[in-house]
């Protein structure tokens, strides 16, 4: 984060070339920025030398001849290219670009658009050439920023805050902010009732920014003491009675009593109650709200110690994050550790100083920010200072937080137009959807847009606003990619709106008869990178086949089941060619975030393609065997969401925490720019990140630990902003308290990410075993805590807070990235799910792990149709075949798919009402449509409501009838997490396995 860039009063353009890491620091102040192209691998610095100096172009009207050789020859390193052939109506620029008689050109004998003369002529007619000589590039944002710009530099940051927690001199002393605590407190008193604080009822109105109210702020009398006596433990744990004989159903084992998260994700609220000024848990969830005071305690916790952060989580209406402008005082931050002022800082010295809650530094209050304190030490202006009362705020960042003017929102599309892309209907749906979203792309009127399409050649589109129709240019030399007309490929949407619409209207027609099956994906990606790297932005890739030509071409390697179970197994799940990771690194460096949409029914090596999304903070959308009639709606909704959701551009995120602890590992889709700075070229509300904490010091001496997430980004409106989330958690000396304050949702989120990462370096089996072992160790430790005072017998005991953990652990093992073996999920499916799950926020992830299953036939027969709260209307049932009644109709919903399961004995009237004349047909051939009757309308309303509850993905609806095999098994039964299917373990057996292992060595 360049938040410490006081040395950048102006916009010094792009930081100098990096020699070491792709995220090299910015130049120190005063060092002139070096212009020049991307200093990254292998790409020719493409600095548009040809535009200003090229001779005026005056191509014949009506001919697509966008590019002339004199210009080409001036591209450094380009060499002399053959002069263009005499233009003719059929002379597509490929001839101009291709090597003389070049091989790749011959692959495309019919010049594109290859769909035959009718389309060609239409387009050729529409694409008029530039009507004026090419002048110098338009004076735009870029003109002052010769090289575009790289990531906000981390240098300044590191100067003030080394990546590794600095040792804060003088922090070991008393904590003035919490005078109620003895200084250097290590004894476990903190959570007994406040020694001198007022009663709890008085605490909500008080806010941060003052000190002398010990206890009041952070203590909650009802919070059980970690040292509560042994009797206090009597009711402290839950237990399941289990026999010791695995699989046996002897009395004592009642699966019906097993804990199940039928209410979905229930966030622990004790944390929020204790610290009402903490940010909401939708933004930050610790795996336990009780931080261990020592390394030895942490080592006995066995579960991950960390957090899940979703910095831009959607807030319900009325709870939006407040926007703050510090104006002339500048943003108030700690001089030493750069923490942003927050509700937990304290003001002293009659308001002239404030103490940092993270490092204890005493800072001066700038004159403009000064306020008198009242008798209780509270700032008089507190009610006008949301940053001192709210755990989440958004701060307008002044120019010191920029290394260039804030970039406009940029959407660039890289679209496969080969045979299968056109045939599947993908092209048409994508083009229509993009067109329908043009009014809603964030950032009007600054938004920019551009397109490249490709099959065996690359097709560029001049979208200059002075044109009435786009102009297509074809490049067929895949080995030496260059970008024709780089200034007119990425255009301002509002200025070029008509050209963009004309392009989107004609795109599906242009390629509808394309028979080209090749995919020059890698070269196309390089070209997109060259167009985008001046400014950055979002790159949306639509890929329908395995990249087959040029750099980054991939092999069919996914169909060898023999590799499974060997040490080589994991290699199938990682990118085959380093090209992908390197491209991702380059893109991140230049603020390009990539989303990959993949559509093929054949192997496309999602492991490699997804790498692009993984390291640029993006997302993978996978529609295997895409057919517009089946998957069209899903693509429409998901693409529309992707295009229109609020996006934070060119952002970086850092999470700070108090002395003695540090975040030591980060898990999700992003690239680390320095040891603790997460680079996120484009981030939105649907992305979450997990991280693990390490205690750096043997003992923590403070009673509490603070966390502060800061996301520095450019809003679509062009404002540079910092979103800040602050929270505090108590430090405890009692292991039991750590378990009591555990957050299963957060733990499952961290575990899922760790397990998926493990599949990228080892066997699936090992990843699954690791999950089980971690749960066993934690429960064994917990058992040992209680075994002295209690006769536990054959009971499995666990804290209330972790009652669902074993089940979620099982669900992780059964999730698509980790399940079974080669027969259980295709390699692409597995990898796509892995990329998706790495980014999911807690709620979405838990729903995917243990989906909703509810019965609807009885409800459909009732007259009322109130759907205000689905939970009241429909009760979830356990995810097991035993829950199913053959006379019922059930809906399965995991957030990605809906399955309507029709029991064999379901009343034919209901089936008729819902399916019309198709009611007896094979359900694989039936699409659910609204019928003219109340029951059908009621069901459709329910499905609509389910979809609206979570807009991040659009679940497709599948119909299946009981006994319709193998479809029933594939679509539905195998997703019943609690059952044993194929080689998988049932919930009962899983619990017994865990229990048996817990008892060993207990
Ligand atoms: Zn500080």
pLDDT tens track for 243-298: 645 555 455 678 888 999 998 887 777 667 889 999 999 999 999 999 999 999 99
DSSP codes, 165-227: PPP-TT-SS--TT-TTSPTT--SS-TTSSPSSPPPGGGTTT--SS--S-TTTTT--TTSPPTT
What spacing in Å lies between the alpha carbon of 584 and ligand 1's midpoint?
Answer: 34
Distance 360 CA to ligand 1 centre (A): 6
Cα(225) to centroid(ligand 1), Å: 30
DSSP state of 919: G
CA distance linking residue 921 with residue 586, whole number of Å? 53
- Of 885, 453, 1, the closest CA to residue 461 belongs to 453
Spacing, Cα 324 to ligand 1 middle (Å): 21
Query: Ligand 1 centroid vs 209 CA: distance in angstroms?
Result: 15
Distance 176 CA to ligand 1 centre (A): 14
Range 603-615 average pLDDT: 96
Confidence of residue 793 (pLDDT cuts 50, 70, 90): confident
Q: How far is the CA of 322 from the centre of ligand 1 (A)?
A: 23
Flag whether pLDDT at 901 surpasses 90.
yes
State residue 559's pLDDT score: 63
Predicted pLDDT of residue 78: 36
What is the pLDDT at residue 868? 65
Q: Using the mean position of ligand 1's atoms as its centre, give its distance from the Cα of residue 669 in Å.
A: 29
CA of 341 to the centre of ligand 1 (A): 9
Tell me how far the alpha carbon of residue 499 lies from the centroid of ligand 1, in angstroms. Answer: 52
SS3 state of residue 541: strand
CA of 654 to the centre of ligand 1 (A): 14
Give 180 Cα–ligand 1 centroid separation in angstroms. 21
Expressed in angstroms and rounded, the spacing between residue 674 Cα and the centre of ligand 1 is 20
- Spacing, Cα 363 to ligand 1 middle (Å): 9
Residue 272 CA to ligand 1 center (angstroms) comes to 24
HSE toward the beta carbon, residue 117, CA cutoff 13 A: 1
- Range 404-421 burial, b when 16+ CB lie within 10 A, else e: bbbbbbbbbbbbbbbbbb
The rounded Å distance from CA 29 to ligand 1 centre is 24
Taking a 5 Å cut-off on Cβ, the residues next to ion ligand 1 are: 334, 336-337, 339, 356, 358-359, 361
Distance of CA 273 from the midpoint of ligand 1 (Å): 26
Strands 852-855 and 889-893: antiparallel
Distance 127 CA to ligand 1 centre (A): 59
Helix (H) or strand (E) holding 306: strand 306-309
Q: pLDDT digit string (tens) for 717-739?
A: 999 999 999 999 999 999 999 99
Instruction: Using the mean position of ligand 1's atoms as its centre, give its distance from the Cα of residue 509 in Å.
Output: 60
CA of 658 to the centre of ligand 1 (A): 9
Distance CA 737, CA 227 (A): 9
Between the CA of 195 and the centroid of ligand 1 the distance, in Å, is 27
Secondary structure string (H, E, C) spanning 753-779: HHHHHHCCCCCHHHHHHHHHHHHHHHH
For residue 355, report the distance from its CA to the centre of ligand 1, in Å: 8
Rounded to the nearest whole angstrom, what is the distance from the C-alpha of residue 362 to the centroid of ligand 1? 8
CA of 700 to the centre of ligand 1 (A): 17
What's the confidence (pLDDT) of residue 457? 96
Q: What is the pLDDT of residues 829-839, one digit of tens each?
A: 999 999 999 99
pLDDT digit string (tens) for 937-973? 999 999 999 999 899 999 999 999 999 988 999 899 9
The percentage of residues in the chain with a pLDDT greater than 70, rounded to a whole number, is 74
CA of 299 to the centre of ligand 1 (A): 28
Distance 667 CA to ligand 1 centre (A): 26
Q: What is the 657 CA–ligand 1 centroid distance (Å)?
A: 10
Ligand 1 geometric centre to CA of 334 (Å): 5
285 contacts 272 by C-beta, under 8 angstroms? no
Ligand 1 centroid distance, CA of 656 (Å): 10
Instruction: Give the single-character DSSP code of 742.
Output: B
Query: Could you tell me the distance, in angstroms and rounded to a whole number, from the CA of residue 336 to the centre of ligand 1?
Result: 5
Residue 311 CA to ligand 1 center (angstroms) comes to 21
pLDDT at 867: 67
CA of 749 to the centre of ligand 1 (A): 30
Angle at 506 between CA 501 and CA 510, to 5 degrees: 150
Mean pLDDT for the stretch of residues 919-942: 90
For helices 117-126 and 497-510, angle between their N-to-C axes, nearest 10 degrees: 170
Between 328 and 63, residue with greater pLDDT: 328
> What's the 26 CA to ligand 1 centre distance in angstroms?
24
The Å distance, Cα 274 to ligand 1 centre, comes to 23
The residue ranking higher by pLDDT, 984 or 54, is 984
Distance 632 CA to ligand 1 centre (A): 52
Contact yes or no for 891/975 (Cβ under 8 A) = no
Phi first, then psi, for residue 628 (nearest 5°) are -60, -30
Residue 2 CA, ligand 1 centroid: distance in Å: 17
Weakest-pLDDT range from 200-214, 520-534, 662-676, 913-927: 200-214
Cα-to-centroid distance, 660 and ligand 1 (Å)? 13
Could you tell me which residues are beta bridge partners of residue 657? 707
Provide the pLDDT for residue 270: 66
How many residues belong to the chain?
1002
Ligand 1 center to residue 703 CA distance, Å?
17
Tokens of 67: 């590019």
Distance from Cα 338 to the centre of ligand 1, integer Å: 6
* Alpha helices per DSSP H over 74-131: 94-97, 103-106, 117-126
Using only C-alpha atoms, the chain has a radius of gyration, in whole angstroms, of 30
Rounded distance from Cα 345 to ligand 1 centre (Å) = 9
- Comparing 130-139, 393-402, 635-644, the range with the smallest average pLDDT is 130-139
Mean pLDDT of 580-601: 97
Residue 813 has φ and ψ, to the nearest 5°, of -60, -30
Distance 318 CA to ligand 1 centre (A): 31
């Amino acid at each position: 984060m360049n938040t410490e860039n006081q040395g950048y009063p102006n916009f010094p353009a792009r930081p100098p070339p990096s020699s070491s890491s792709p995220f090299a620091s910015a130049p120190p102040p005063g060092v002139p920025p070096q212009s020049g192209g991307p200093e990254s691998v292998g790409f020719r610095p493409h600095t548009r030398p040809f535009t200003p100096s090229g001779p005026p172009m005056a191509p014949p009207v009506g001919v697509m001849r966008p590019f002339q050789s004199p210009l080409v020859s001036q591209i450094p390193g380009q060499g002399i290219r053959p002069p263009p052939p005499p233009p003719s109506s059929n002379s597509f620029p490929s001839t101009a670009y291709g090597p003389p008689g070049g091989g790749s050109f011959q692959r495309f004998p019919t010049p594109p658009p290859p769909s035959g003369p009718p389309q060609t002529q239409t387009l050729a007619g529409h694409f008029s050439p530039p009507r004026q000589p090419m002048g110098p590039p338009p004076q735009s944002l870029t003109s002052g920023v010769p090289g575009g710009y790289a990531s906000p530099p981390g240098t300044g940051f590191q100067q003030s805050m080394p990546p590794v927690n600095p040792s804060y001199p003088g922090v070991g002393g008393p904590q003035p902010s919490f005078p109620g605590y003895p200084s250097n407190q290590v004894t476990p008193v903190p959570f007994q009732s406040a020694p001198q604080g007022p009663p709890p009822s008085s605490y909500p109105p008080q806010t941060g920014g003052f000190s002398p109210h010990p206890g009041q702020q952070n203590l909650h009398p009802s919070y059980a003491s970690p040292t509560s006596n042994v009797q206090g433990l009597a009711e402290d744990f839950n237990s399941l009675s289990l026999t010791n004989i695995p699989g046996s159903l002897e009395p004592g084992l009642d699966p019906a009593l097993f804990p199940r998260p039928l209410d979905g994700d229930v966030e622990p609220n004790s944390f929020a109650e204790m610290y009402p000024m903490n940010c909401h848990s939708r933004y930050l969830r610790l795996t336990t709200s009780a931080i261990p005071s020592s390394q030895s305690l942490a080592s006995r916790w066995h579960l991950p110690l960390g957090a899940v952060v979703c910095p831009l989580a959607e807030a319900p209406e009325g709870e939006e994050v407040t926007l703050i402008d510090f104006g002339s005082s500048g943003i108030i931050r700690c001089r030493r550790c750069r923490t942003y002022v927050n509700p937990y800082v304290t003001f002293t010295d009659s308001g002239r100083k404030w103490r940092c809650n993270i490092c204890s530094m005493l800072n001066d209050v700038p004159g403009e920010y000064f306020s008198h304190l009242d008798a209780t030490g509270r700032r008089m202006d507190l009610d006008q200072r949301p940053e001192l009362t709210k755990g989440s705020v958004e701060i307008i960042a002044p120019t010191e937080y920029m290394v260039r003017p804030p970039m406009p929102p940029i959407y660039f599309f890289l679209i496969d137009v080969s045979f299968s892309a056109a045939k599947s209907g993908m092209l048409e749906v994508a083009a229509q959807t993009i067109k329908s979203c043009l009014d809603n792309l964030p950032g009007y009127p600054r938004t920019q847009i551009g397109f490249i399409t490709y099959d065996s050649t690359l097709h560029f589109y001049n979208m200059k606003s002075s044109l009435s129709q786009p102009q297509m240019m074809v490049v067929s030399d895949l080995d030496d990619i260059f970008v024709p007309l780089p200034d007119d490929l990425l255009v301002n949407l509002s200025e070029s709106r008509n050209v963009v619409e004309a392009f989107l209207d004609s795109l599906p027609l242009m390629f509808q008869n394309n028979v080209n099956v090749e995919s020059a994906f890698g070269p196309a990606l390089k070209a997109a990178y060259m167009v985008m790297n001046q400014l950055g932005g979002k790159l949306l890739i639509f890929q329908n086949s395995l990249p087959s030509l040029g750099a980054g071409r991939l092999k069919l390697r996914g169909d060898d089941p023999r590799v499974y179970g060997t040490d080589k197994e994991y290699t199938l799940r990682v990118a085959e060619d380093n090209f992908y990771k390197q491209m991702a690194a380059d893109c991140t460096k230049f603020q390009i975030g990539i989303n990959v949409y993949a559509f093929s029914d054949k192997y496309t090596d999602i492991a490699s393609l997804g790498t692009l999304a993984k390291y640029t903070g993006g997302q993978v959308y996978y529609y295997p065997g895409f057919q517009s009639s089946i998957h069209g709606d899903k693509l429409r909704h998901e693409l529309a969401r992707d295009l229109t959701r609020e996006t934070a551009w060119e952002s970086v995120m850092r999470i700070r925490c108090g002395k003695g602890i540090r975040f030591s590992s980060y898990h999700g889709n992003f690239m680390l720019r320095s040891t603790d700075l997460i680079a996120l070229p484009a981030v939105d509300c649907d992305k979450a990140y997990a991280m693990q904490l390490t205690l750096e010091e043997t003992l923590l001496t403070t009673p509490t630990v603070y966390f502060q997430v800061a996301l520095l980004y450019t809003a679509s409106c062009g404002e540079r902003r910092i979103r800040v989330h602050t929270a505090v958690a108590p430090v405890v000396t009692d292991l039991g308290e750590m378990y009591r304050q555990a957050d299963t949702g957060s733990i499952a989120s961290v575990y899922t990410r760790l397990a998926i990462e493990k599949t990228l370096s080892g066997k699936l089996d090992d990843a699954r075993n690791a999950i089980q072992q971690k749960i066993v160790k934690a429960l064994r430790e917990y058992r040992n805590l209680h075994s002295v005072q209690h006769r536990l017998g054959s009971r499995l005991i666990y804290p209330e807070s972790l009652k669902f953990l074993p089940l979620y652990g099982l669900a992780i093992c059964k999730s698509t990235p980790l399940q079974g073996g080669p027969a259980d999920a295709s390699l692409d499916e597995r990898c796509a799910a892995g990329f998706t799950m790495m980014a999911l926020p807690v709620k979405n992830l838990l729903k995917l792990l243990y989906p909703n299953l509810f019965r609807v036939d009885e409800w459909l027969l009732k007259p009322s149709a109130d759907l205000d709260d689905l939970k009241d209307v429909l009760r979830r049932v356990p995810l097991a075949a035993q829950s199913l009644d053959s006379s019922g109709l059930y809906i399965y919903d995991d957030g990605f798919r809906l399955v309507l399961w029709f029991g064999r004995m379901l009343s034919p009237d209901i089936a008729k009402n819902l399916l019309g004349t198709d009611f007896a047909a094979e359900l694989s051939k039936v699409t659910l449509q609204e019928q003219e009757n109340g029951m059908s309308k009621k069901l459709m309303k329910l499905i609509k409501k389910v979809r609206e509850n979570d807009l991040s993905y659009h679940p497709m609806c599948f119909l299946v009838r009981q006994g319709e095999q193998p479809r029933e098994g594939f679509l539905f039964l195998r997703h019943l997490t609690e059952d044993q299917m194929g080689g998988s373990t049932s919930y009962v057996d899983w619990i017994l396995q865990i229990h048996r292992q817990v008892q060993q060595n207990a």
